[in-house]
Each structure stands twice: as structure tokens, then as C-alpha cells.
Amino acid sequence: MTKLGQWLCGLVLLGSAWAALALAPPGLRLPAPCRQALLPLPVYLLVAFGCYSLATVGYRLATFNDCEEAAAELQEHISAARADLSRRGLRF
Amino acid sequence: MAAGGADKFSVLLPTYNERENLPLVVWLLARTFRDSGNNFEIIIIDDGSPDGTQEIAEQLEKIYGSDKIVMREIISVLFSSGTAYIHGMKHATGNFIVIMDADLSHHYFHTNIPPVFLIKPIAYRKQKEGNFDIVSGTRYKGNGGVYGWDLKRKLISRGANFLTQVLLRPGASDLTGSFRLYRKEVLQKLMEKCVSKGYVFQMEMIVRARQLGYTIGEVPISFVDRVYGESKLGGNEIVSFLKGLLTLFATT
């Protein structure tokens, strides 16, 4: 199954569970407080996921390494390479 | 195992107008392999570069020997990562294939061939350590990282990677990084299965590899922007990345 397929299945399952519980006909209803919490749940989850995403990306952005030594090392390598290759006859 | 029982590494380098970078990359690769004592060959697949890339490659072949440097040319409007690798693999005699992609925010193999000096011995050791089918370089873990990137570029990179992780759950931290080491049979199998173009192809390979049960190890790499102006990460690139990501989401 594709990832899209997995997401759709998951959404359908959770969605129907939520609909069944939150939008049930009068005879089968849960107590009112439960339904009141359940009704906006999808929106809450979406917002929560949004906050999690922002926090995660922000953290990863802040901890993104800057490779100073690698850059310096590269410059040295470039000089060494040019010197060595010229010695061996490369015409740049 | 390659003939003789020892491992041999074939490095595939698709090039377009890499006259300046090519000697440096070859020199670094040769030195790294010599230091780690591994047998290697470098296969340069050039797309009819007008800047004399092939001439430089021929000079390098004379210096290093034609068992070490192999130059192949394809001139084709269909030149892409996929065709370059297929073509390159036909000539590869190693049992491990190293793929180094150039900067992916641009035309897929142009200018920024990243530095490799950190990579070869570490990747080889990692492969041996875990006997992995694929070793992938990552900029996002360990002491991997970048140099010369401004905040905006880092943000876009991390954001795109986050989206990729959420949608594809690929089991690797960096799908658009520019270094991979594959067992030859694994790469051949993946090339048959993958259909995307350009760098999305690189992403697809990792996703399919996971589905086929191949083991993937990671090593940190440093990506250093060498070109004087940094690569532009414009609206076009972002849109095409999103398109590629959604395509993979829907098809793998």
C-alpha cells in the first residue's frame, strides 16, 4: 500500500470512530461532557500537530551544525591538490 | 566480492561543466582511497560539456592510470541522474558503487560537488561495521552539517526534510543529501524499480530500498558551498521539490 493509501485508511478509521461517537443519534449518545470534548477533537489535534511541527523544525534549525573546520580543511586540500597535480603535469 | 576477494569501490561522477572541480574531486578521492588502502576506480560520465571537462578528465587519466580513471561520454537530451548511473554502472568493475550527486537545489549535477575527504574511509568502515546494503551521508545527524548557508536556506532545508519525514517515513534522516554508497547488486535492483527523474530519483531509491528490506546505515557529512555565489533556492526549486515529494507520497 502506498503512503497515501495508509494515510487515507487511517483517516477513514479514525474519522468514522470520531463521527460515530461524537455525532451519534439521540438513542446511543454518550454523556454530554464526553461529547463536548470529542466534537472539537480533530481541530485540537491539528493545532497540536502544528505546534509540534513548528517546535521540531525550530529546534532542528537551531541545532543545524556549521562546519567551520571542514571548510578550512577543504581550502587546504584545494591548495594541496593544485600543487600536487601541477607537479604531476596537469595543465589547469 | 570483486575478483581477488578484496573490495573495490567504483565512484560514479556525472559531470556537466566541471572542469574546475573535477581535478580536485579526483585528487581527494584518490588520496582518501589510498590512505584507507582500498581499491577504487572513478567513472566520469560527461554530458558533452563545452568547457573542456573531458580534456581535463583525459589528463587525469594519464596521471592516475586508465584503470583508475574511466571517462565516458553521453550526449543525450535525456541525460539525467538515472541515465548517467545506468551508463556508468555498465563500466563499473567494483562491488561497491559510490554515488556523489552535486548540489541538488540546482540543475542536478552542476557546480557544487561536495567535499569527500570525510566520507570515504568513514563510509567504508560503517559499511563493514554493520554490513549495510546502503550507506547514506546525512547533514542532519551526528556532526554532519553545512557551511556557508544562511538562515533562510537552513530553514527551508529543515522544513522540507521534516515534511519528507512525516509523509514518507523513510528510515533515513537525509534524503536529498549528496553522497551514497551502495552494494552493486542493490543499486542495480533499485535502478530497475525507480522511475523518477532528477533528485526525486535519489529520494525514491531510499524509500524503495526500505520497502525491499535493504539495510541503510548513515554517516555524517559536511556540505560546503564552494561556489562564490551560493546556490539559489528559489520558488521554482521549492515547487518542484513539493511536486516530487507528493508524487512519491502517492506512488510508493
CA distance A60 to chain B (A): 7
Verify whether the Cβ–Cβ distance B143 to A91 is below 8 Å.
no
By residue range, what is the domain housing residue A36? 3-88
Q: Which amino acid does the sequence have at B141?
A: K
Cell numbers given for B224: 560546503
Between CA B45 and CA B55, with CA B49 as vertex, the angle to 5 degrees is 80
Query: Looking at residue B113, what DSSP letter applies?
Result: P
B13 has which bridge partners? Answer: B44
Q: What is the C-alpha to C-alpha distance for residues B96 and B133, in angstroms, rounded to an integer? A: 9
Return the minimum-mean-pLDDT range out of A81-90, B228-237, B238-247: B228-237
Rounded to an integer, the average pLDDT of B79-87 is 72
| Cα separation, B175 vs B178, whole angstroms | 9
Mean pLDDT of chain B: 78
Residue B196: helix, strand or coil by DSSP? coil
Average pLDDT over residues B232-239: 75
Angstrom distances, CA of residue B3 to CA of B6, B7, B65, B93, B94: 7, 9, 19, 9, 9
Confidence (pLDDT) at A57: 96
Cβ separation A90–B60 shorter than 8 A: yes
Q: What is the DSSP string of A8-69?
A: HHHHHHHHHHHHHHHS--GGGPPPHHHHHHHTTHHHHHHHHHHHHHHHHHHHHHHT--B-HH
B204, pLDDT greater than 60:
yes
The stretch B202-224 carries a mean pLDDT of: 87
Owner of C-alpha cell 577504487: B40
Say yes or no for a CB contact (<8 Å) between B251 and A88: no
The number of domains in chain A is: 1
The mean per-residue pLDDT over the stretch A62-83 comes to: 84
For B158, the closest of A61, A67, A84 (CB atoms) is: A61
Residue B89's alpha-carbon distances to B1, B13, B16, B67, in angstroms, are 16, 11, 18, 15
Q: What gap in Å lies between CA B154 and CA B105, rounded to an integer? A: 12
Distance in angstroms (rounded) separating the CA atoms of residues B137 and B145: 10
The pLDDT, as a whole number, for residue A24 is 72
pLDDT band at B123 (very low <50, low <70, confident <90, very high): low
Kindly give the interhelix angle for B235-251 and B198-211, rounded to the nearest 10 degrees. 30
Cell of B238: 521549492
- Least Cα distance to B21 among B49, B40, B1 occurs for B49
Q: Which of B22, B27, B143, B168 best probes binding to A when mutated, by most A CB atoms within 10 angstroms?
A: B27
Distance from CA of A87 to the nearest CA of B (A): 11
| Percent residues over pLDDT 90 in chain A | 45
pLDDT band at B109 (very low <50, low <70, confident <90, very high): very low
Domains and CATH numbers, chain B: 8-251 (3.90.550.10)
- pLDDT over 60 at B129, yes or no: yes
Does the pLDDT of residue A3 top 90, yes or no? yes
